[in-house]
Amino acid sequence: MEKGYLSIVLHAHLPFVRHPEYEDFLEEDWLFEAISETYIPLINVFDSLVSDGVDFRITMSLTPTLIAMLTDQFLQERYLRHITRLIQLSESEVERTRWQPQFHELARMYRERFNNCKYIFETKYGGNLVSAFKKFQDMGKLEIITCAATHGFLPLMELSPNAVRAQIAIAAQNYEKHLGRPPRGIWLPECGYYPGLEEILKQYGIKFFFTDSHGILYGSPRPKYGVFAPIYCPNGVAAFGRDLESSKQVWSAQEGYPGDYCYRDFYRDIGFDLDYDYIHPYLHGDGTRTNLGVKYYQITGSTEHKEPYIRARAVGKAAEHAGNFMFNREKQAEYLFSIMDRKPIIVSPYDAELFGHWWFEGPEWLDFLFRKLHYDQDNIRPITPMEYLDENPKNQKATPSLSSWGYKGYAEVWLEGSNDWVYRHLHKAAQRMVELAGNNNPGNHADGLALRALNQAARELLLAQSSDWAFIMKTGTMVQYAVKRTKDHVNSFNALYTMINEKKIDRKFLEDLENRDNIFPELDYKVYA
Amino acid sequence: MKKSNLEKLEEKELQELAVKLGISIRKSAKKQEIIKILQSAKAAPISKQESYTKNKPSAAETGGSTADQQHAEAAQPAQSVQQAVEESKFYTGTPPEEFRLPAELPYHYGDDRIVLLVRDPHWAYSYWEVSRKKLEIERGNLGKAGEDAYLALRVYDVTDIRFAGGNDHGHYDIGIYDRVGNWYINTGMPGRSFIVDLGLKTQDGKFITLARSNVVRTPRDSVSDILDEEWMIPDSDFERIFALSGGLSAFTGASSADIRLAAGGKLPFGISSPGMGSLALMSPSKKKQKAFWFVLNTELIVYGATEPDAKVSVQGRPITLRPDGTFTLRFALPDGKQIIECSATSADEVETRCITPEVIRSTKAS
């Protein structure tokens, strides 16, 4: 009989990036790399666990922006173009490295992986990876949860409850459309919670969410079991807290697994290492060197000098780390069980893109972990939050504390010198959107153009609200793009606002926006009323 | 901040410094004017913040210390690994592109409005705008006192009350410089509620409200004192569960102060050890910061041509020809000797030619 539960939670998210107005677009690579390095490897892990009869449980968010991109035909075609180019590149690499056995073997590995990506994407799932994840949900192995529509950081949106409600309502609608049932759980963007948010979650049938550790620990009344049991908000929505110890084993600078020297190095890429003329055909239009996704070196150590990556050794290390993780969770659960009068749940949330993209061996680590959990022990049982609540329906009532999982635990990542200027505009646009929704009812607008403008205005507002833009402005990668996106969406919104009020809608302008920012075609602006 | 140090900076640098400090300054402000503002504002909300007016005794006195403020302001936060991972999603290795700059956003929206946002248990952020017209009218209403009245924020502690003006637990003022601007406010008080008024303050202390903010509540930064009787468990047990929740070395126990720090996310994940090589690489920006370096590699290109329908092999492997019968192979060339046997056989398999170059690479470096 188990002494505790383990809930692994993966948060899969990318902001909506889709630029049909350009022949190719660097930032679309964010999605393509995540597909090849994270989403497809995870699907392969799930498939192999299922076919080997390993019972596993993973909770995974697929954010509405990610679902929108994964189900978008235009981006699916661009991904195929992207992976086809990579296959060509890997074929050249197999030839080029003929006289260097250690690289040659890796080149063959990449060729096989890229071909596999194409097969999984195109042949096996017909271009729609959401259907792959849905398959595992339907089998009861995966619990897919939703997220706010465009990953808006909700504590800084609280000012406009209608805007928060729209983020949740549209997410729930998007989820049901693509996954065939309403969502039961949500990953709050950046784990950002503020007291009262649960009221809106409940309206859309959401039964649980997650907070960072201090969100639960500083809850009131004081939660008896800390983060090792969920609490019910006064309205009955459950909140699960992140376990810091298991997080630390993966994230920590000192002890974290992904930094192990024999794992693959993320930054060393042939896009920078090889002769320019040779890689030129695989670069974007402007010919600037960029990562191509073929990486031959291991982390090695603190020097610039890197040793060639040895795949078998790295995979062995992933198995060792999975064993270590399991051992520590067993000890943790045993100890907690001895001092609690119920079985503890250990909630370990991670960015999904950690696995494969950043930590190349991450998917193998997950694979080993679930195999070991299944075969090698019976102290802990993998579980989803929903299953936990079914088995343990009685929990303490308390309200979590405002919190996020960002640096320092609150709103500072998204509210500081580099990005605080956005809120004046986001709040004003939200206020205007609510005003538009209140003043306009469909009866007044038999004319389809006005209705379309109202819906598009809502899309522009939603896209401007993505927390990713503020995050990028703060961290300093691709800042210009984040600023551009924020300004473009706010400007588009303001232009539509004026047109709607003046009843003079520029059809061409509207159609351009509809073609580019085509997220949530089912959206109804009245959600802001 | 010493005036002499400020004097050394260019006007543009001073503007940038102001932005860093979160101080809004008109674009047209002259150097001396900026220095004056920076000097007075540097310590704000300490020096510029006017004394706290206590309306009635309350818990509001606790909290808010300079130490907290220094903690929150700690320079250059260590980047967490988690953040590095999230960042890596957006990292393609390419330097930022130059985009055609999008149209600027409106400078203001013609409102008289002030908004308050919570940043963390100790800090709030406020932005505001007030129209010129409104400002002129209110100045006029003040008569002579209106001439040198200045803009100020008044921060009210309104914890657990319905604020109707005057019934706050206490308030203090912060002088500001722009009718459209923003400010980080050090409330220093976790778990309390605040409202901010944007107003005109006369030299003799009269305060006219121009706009009032929403109410915000700062989060608690410690465990709740409220214990649910029904669920009460012995404190010692709670301490242990709590320690584990805090994720500190699980089986050694730790002081509650340490736990508070850890649980607040302030300690555990910072990258602090320069010895960890892999982590030095986790920040993309670090990639660029290497000393002088030199890399040299050699590749060998083997190319040729024959009849388009001939069969060609290189080192025993068949090669695909281009439609015109040419081919190109490219090899990374390591040190040592390569014997490259190439052969072409006619389509009817009657004729075969062999050509075998030998290539030696021997590298010396100094």
pLDDT at B244: 72
Provide DSSP, A144-178: EEEE-TT-B-GGGTTT-HHHHHHHHHHHHHHHHHH
Instruction: Quick: pLDDT tens for B68-103.
Output: 333 333 333 334 677 877 888 888 777 666 666 788
Which residue among A248, A415, A490 sits closest to B105, beta carbon to beta carbon?
Answer: A490
Phi and psi at B343, nearest 5°, equal -140, 150
Query: Mean pLDDT of all residues in chain B?
Result: 74
At B13, the pLDDT band (50, 70, 90 cuts) reads low
Exposed / middle / buried, residue A396 (Cβ in 10 Å: 0-12, 13-18, 19+): middle
Nearest one of A510, A500, A504, A490 to A428, comparing CA atoms: A490
Q: How many residues are recorded in chain B?
A: 366
Listed range (B208-217, B248-257, B298-307) with the worst mean pLDDT: B248-257
Question: First vs last Cα of chain A: how many Å apart?
Answer: 51
Contacts of A249 in chain B (CB under 8 A): none
pLDDT at A240: 98
Mention every residue, 6+ apart, whose C-beta is less than 8 A from residue A191. A210, A211, A212, A215, A242, A349, A403, A404, A405, A406
Residue A381 contacts residue A346 (beta carbons within 8 Å)? no
Q: What is the dihedral of CA B75, B80, B83, B89, to 10 degrees?
A: 120
Q: Pick the residue of A222, A292, A306 with the most B CBs within 10 A to test the interface with B by mutation.
A: A222
Nearest one of A56, A137, A139 to A369, comparing CA atoms: A56
Work out the minimum CA distance from B144 to partner chain A, whole angstroms: 34
Q: Pick the residue of A254, A435, A493 with the most B CBs within 10 A to test the interface with B by mutation.
A: A254
- Longest distance between any two alpha carbons in chain B, whole Å: 112
User: Using N-to-C axis directions, what is the helix angle for A479-502 and A467-475, rounded to 10°?
Assistant: 150
For A108-248, strand residue ranges (E) read 142-147, 185-187, 208-211, 231-232, 238-241
Q: Average pLDDT in the B42-57 region?
A: 46
Mention every residue, 6+ apart, whose C-beta is less than 8 A from residue B364. none
pLDDT at B5: 58
CA A268 – CA A291 distance, rounded (Å): 8
Q: Pick the residue of A327, A422, A428 with the most B CBs within 10 A to test the interface with B by mutation.
A: A428
* Unique residue bearing structure tokens 């010493």: B2
pLDDT at B93: 76
Q: Pick the residue of B241, B288, B293 with the most A CBs within 10 A to test the interface with A by mutation.
A: B241
Phi-psi region of A439 (alpha: psi -120 to 50; beta: other; left: phi over 0): alpha
Instruction: Please name the residues between 106 and 125 in chain B that touch chain A, using a CB distance below 8 Å.
Output: 106, 109, 111, 115, 117-121, 123, 125
Would the CB atoms of B117 and A29 count as touching at under 8 Å?
A: no
Work out the minimum CA distance from A322 to partner chain B, whole angstroms: 19
Q: Rounded to the nearest 5 degrees, what angle is found at the Cα of B362, between the Cα atoms of B361 and B364?
A: 140
Most confident residue range from B18-22, B74-78, B253-257, B314-318: B314-318
pLDDT tops 70 at residue B131: yes
Q: Pick the residue of B272, B278, B299, B341 with the most A CBs within 10 A to test the interface with A by mutation.
A: B278
Which residue among B83, B97, B244 sits closest to A226, beta carbon to beta carbon?
Answer: B244
Nearest one of A155, A166, A56 to A458, comparing CA atoms: A166
Work out the minimum CA distance from A183 to partner chain B, whole angstroms: 25
Instruction: Quick: pLDDT tens for B291-313.
Output: 788 889 999 999 999 999 999 99
As separate numbers, helices (DSSP H) first and strands (DSSP E) second, chain A gives: 20, 10
Nearest one of A188, A192, A156 to A63, comparing CA atoms: A188
**Residue ranges of chain A with pLDDT lower than 50?**
none
Would the CB atoms of A95 and B237 count as touching at under 8 Å?
A: no
Work out the minimum CA distance from B251 to partner chain A, whole angstroms: 9
B283/A contact by beta carbon, under 8 A: no
Residue B215 contacts residue B161 (beta carbons within 8 Å)? no
The size of the A-B interface in CB pairs under 8 A is: 311
Work out the minimum CA distance from B235 to partner chain A, whole angstroms: 10
Of all residues in chain B, what percent carry a pLDDT higher than 70? 60
Contacts of A225 in chain B (CB under 8 A): 241
CA A237 – CA A234 distance, rounded (Å): 8
Mention every residue, 6+ apart, whose C-beta is less than 8 A from residue B344. B304, B306, B307, B310, B311, B312, B352, B353
For strands B336-339 and B358-361, give the pairing.
antiparallel
Contacts of B273 in chain A (CB under 8 A): 253-254
Mention every residue, 6+ apart, whose C-beta is less than 8 A from residue B165. B209
C-alpha of A480 from chain center: 22
pLDDT at A260: 93
Chain A residue nearest residue B248, CA to CA: A245
pLDDT at B22: 54
* Unique residue bearing structure tokens 């009989």: A1
pLDDT at B233: 39
Instruction: Please name the residues between 305 and 364 in chain B that touch chain A, using a CB distance below 8 Å.
Output: 315, 329-334, 338
pLDDT tops 80 at residue B45: no
Which residue among B115, B117, B278 sits closest to A299, beta carbon to beta carbon?
Answer: B278
Work out the minimum CA distance from B93 to partner chain A, whole angstroms: 5
What pTM was computed for the model?
A: 0.85
pLDDT tops 80 at residue B280: no
Contacts of B279 in chain A (CB under 8 A): 253, 259
Which residue among A29, A96, A417 sits closest to B92, beta carbon to beta carbon?
Answer: A29
For residue A288, how many other CB atoms are within 10 A of its CB? Answer: 14
pLDDT tops 70 at residue B16: no
Nearest one of A223, A235, A168 to A196, comparing CA atoms: A235
Q: Provide the token pair at B285.
A: 């920006």
pLDDT at B6: 65
3-class state of residue B194 by DSSP: strand
Contacts of A251 in chain B (CB under 8 A): 80-82, 85, 269
Chain A residue nearest residue B295, CA to CA: A273
pLDDT at A446: 52
Which residue among B109, B241, B334 sits closest to A99, beta carbon to beta carbon?
Answer: B334
For strands A185-187 and A208-211, give the pairing.
parallel
pLDDT tops 50 at residue B264: no
Which residue among B19, B90, B226 sits closest to A417, beta carbon to beta carbon?
Answer: B19
3-class state of residue A337 by DSSP: helix
At B20, the pLDDT band (50, 70, 90 cuts) reads low
Element (H, E) at A396: strand A396-397
C-alpha of A357 from chain center: 12
